[in-house]
Amino acid sequence: MAKHGIKAVFSDRLGGVSGCEFSSLNLGVDLGDDEDYVQQNLNILCQSAGLAIPHQCLQIHGSAVLWCSGGGILHQEEADILITKERQSSLAVRTADCLPILLADKQVGIVAAVHAGWRGTVAKVAQEAINVMCDKGTKAENILASLGPCIGSCCFEVSQKVGDSLSVSCGENIVQHRGDKVFADLVRANFLQLLGVGLSLEHIECTNVCTFCNTSPEYFSYRRDCGKTGRQLAVINLP
Ligand SMILES: [Zn+2]
């Protein structure tokens, strides 16, 4: 994204002011962390990355869209795709194992932030985001995509039922069997979805970092920390 002039950042858990399980750059509200700390962390991230305070919404593992304009706020609407055509509006999704996807078409001037866990992946939330962008004048082959840190296929053990849902929706090579265990590859599933709707291979970048097992830097991981953890932020802003 950066080489194309798009401002985009994926945070990790370092450099903030929160303590205990939220140590230290927790960007998730309503998790039990002090709200002042979360706000301070947001300011730290946005100032260091040169980004406006982002729009955020209530994420529900679906594929609904929220159009954003003006200065960023925490909306009470439920959505997993945020989109804007405004330079003053930055967009963010919160994750702690789910896959954040940032999308941009600089020519048309439109960006999106997408929250894709396994349910969103089954619901093809990434493709829905591309469809909405194309409805607004974008061509898929001009869209840049950046897939951020998420739980990797190294660590994302799923039930047979979840594995079956992903296989039906995204293809059998999304799921790997190791012994009697089933593991899913969220990055690959969403990468293939984006290729499937016409994005160019060279326009898709993958961080390929596992939030569960990566140690440098460390990330919040809902699965590893048994739900008692903070949230990363993926933020995008038109130049
Ligand atoms: Zn891992």
Confidence of residue 3 (pLDDT cuts 50, 70, 90): confident
Q: How far is the CA of 126 from the centre of ligand 1 (A)?
A: 22
Q: How far is the CA of 153 from the centre of ligand 1 (A)?
A: 7
Neighbours of 29 (CB within 10 A): 15
Q: How far is the CA of 53 from the centre of ligand 1 (A)?
A: 30
CA angle 220, 225, 229 (to 5 degrees): 50
CA torsion 23→24→26→31, rounded to 10°?
A: 30
Q: How far is the CA of 211 from the centre of ligand 1 (A)?
A: 7
User: CA dist 165 to 15, 18, 100, 144, Å?
Assistant: 38, 37, 20, 28
Confidence of residue 90 (pLDDT cuts 50, 70, 90): very high
66/74 Cα distance (integer angstroms): 12
Phi/psi of residue 159, each to 5°?
A: -70, 160
Q: 2-151+203-237: what fold? A: CNF1/YfiH-like putative cysteine hydrolases (3.60.140)
Give yes or no for residue 49 having a pLDDT over 90.
yes
Q: What is the mean pLDDT of residues 51-61?
A: 97
pLDDT of 28: 98
Domain boundary assignment for the chain: 2-151+203-237
Q: What is the mean pLDDT of residues 100-112?
A: 97
Q: What is the pTM of this model?
A: 0.98
pLDDT tens column, 123-152: 999 999 999 999 999 999 999 999 999 999
Over its C-alpha atoms, the chain yields an Rg (Å, rounded) of: 17
17/27 Cα distance (integer angstroms): 11
Q: How far is the CA of 116 from the centre of ligand 1 (A)?
A: 17
Q: How far is the CA of 69 from the centre of ligand 1 (A)?
A: 36
Query: Looking at this protein, which amino acid is placed at residue 27?
Result: L
Q: How far is the CA of 11 from the centre of ligand 1 (A)?
A: 18
For 72-94, letters b (16+ CB in 10 Å) and e give beeeeeebbbbbbbbeebbbbbb
CA angle 57, 63, 64 (to 5 degrees): 55
Q: How far is the CA of 215 from the centre of ligand 1 (A)?
A: 10
Q: How far is the CA of 212 from the centre of ligand 1 (A)?
A: 5
Q: How far is the CA of 220 from the centre of ligand 1 (A)?
A: 12
Q: What is the mean pLDDT of residues 102-128?
A: 97
Q: How far is the CA of 209 from the centre of ligand 1 (A)?
A: 8
Q: How far is the CA of 108 from the centre of ligand 1 (A)?
A: 37
